[in-house]
Amino acid sequence: MSRSVAVTGMGIFSAIGKNLEENHRSLIHGKHGLSYPEILETVHQNLPIGEIKSTNSDLADALNLDKNHAFTRAALLGTIALKEALQNAKIEDFINIGFVNGNSVGGMDMTERFYREYESNPANRRFIQAQHPGFTTEQIAGYFGIDNYVTTISTACSSAANAVMLGARLIQSGRLDQVIVGGTDCLSRFTLNGFNSLMIYSEDFPKPFDSERKGLNLGEAAAYLVLESADFAKNKEVLGYVSGYGNANDAFHQTASSENGEGAYLAMQKALETANLNPHHIDYINAHGTATQNNDLSESRALIRIFKEMPAFSSTKSFTGHTLAAAGAIEAVFSLLAIKHQQIYPNLNFNSAISDTRLRPVTELKSTKIQHVLSNSFGFGGNCTSLIFSKDE
């Protein structure tokens, strides 16, 4: 497990931009992508979401798909983001490449639209089978002809981060030299209603780590990284390295994090160990930071347990909303952009620190020296994953 894992390409599609350039521009100008529902058909018109303002037809047309396609919205977003990542990495041969995709919503948006017509409208039954997250992965893989190693990870909000971890392990073990990793999720009525019913959804824009935070806002997005063994990528531009990773579980509650952030603490500890780094080596933390009462306090306590001196940190979910399974990949891209441009992106809407922890995130764009970035993604069921991206091997 000694081979270095290089990132040679990235692609992203989110509410703050349809590609890398647009996302970076939004981050440096503090421009969030939260608005009210226009594409998603919902009675909750008062709930802000990070919605991509393109219809499924628009997305399908951009990919030149046949009108009778069965692509889910998550697959459409994922295919567009993956296309950019492959172009970025100059990948054209898919014979020996692997694909690890994080997804949780799958084709749920199509199921809730068509299930009442299952008997009366047989033509739309192709979307019913699309509910399974693995179907979305197969759609994306099929578009590019990837069939060597294809798998789906569905661990709620840590899905894409776990995809990055698995991809890195496949390379380090010598199983593969190239792996595409990341995740995609779309908005659906089911998820919006579900988070709202948990009473953790905010009618305002999110305020991660703020004492007056009222809850999260959902978003939709897709992002992918192309990982290659450092030897295999010798003649390519390297955007950074996956130097560390860790996964742990609170085993505390179906949806809530433990009060002292045990799962988060163990995940960060393991990531530092695999990267052979000490806490003081971390220059920036892209926090999970969902803006819920439970998560932000739990994560803050875990951070204090790891770091004697707190590095600069922020939650970029204040830009995109919480993109569920895609979050780990979205924030991996933002972490690598931070390394590339030597910038820390702001935590929007912050005013006052949580009284129990007194931690204050970065609230304005900051230029500084960045060698190592820690990125946290914590899912329901206590599935916690931390990744470390580094500028050099």
Q: Tens digit of pLDDT for each residue in 116-127?
A: 887 888 877 777
Mean pLDDT across 99-113: 92
Strand ranges of the sheet holding 284-286, from the earlier edge strand across to the other edge: 149-153, 98-102, 178-185, 221-229, 5-13, 240-249, 383-390, 372-378, 284-286, 312-314
- What's the domain count of the chain? 1
* 101 HSE (CA, 13 A, CB side): 30
Given pLDDT bands bounded at 50, 70 and 90, which one contains residue 260?
Answer: confident
How far is CA 83 from each of CA 11, 13, 77, 133, 232, rounded to the nearest angstrom? Answer: 7, 11, 10, 20, 21
List, for residues 275-301, the tens digit of each pLDDT value.
999 999 999 999 999 999 999 999 999
**pLDDT reading at 326 higher than 70:** yes
Given pLDDT bands bounded at 50, 70 and 90, which one contains residue 85?
Answer: very high
Is the whole-model pTM more than 0.85?
Answer: yes
**pLDDT reading at 256 higher than 80:** no
For 65, the token pair is: 């798909």
How far is CA 255 from each of CA 147, 154, 156, 251, 384, rounded to the nearest angstrom? Answer: 35, 15, 10, 10, 12
**pLDDT reading at 324 higher than 70:** yes
Q: The domain spanning residue 274 has which CATH number?
A: 3.40.47.10
Calculate the average pLDDT of the chain.
95
CA-derived radius of gyration, the chain = 19
Of the ranges 17-26, 67-76, 219-228, 374-383, which one carries the lowest mean pLDDT score? 374-383
Helix (H) or strand (E) holding 221: strand 221-229
Query: Which residues constitute the domain of residue 369?
Result: 5-390
Tell me what percent of the residues of the chain surpass a pLDDT of 90: 86
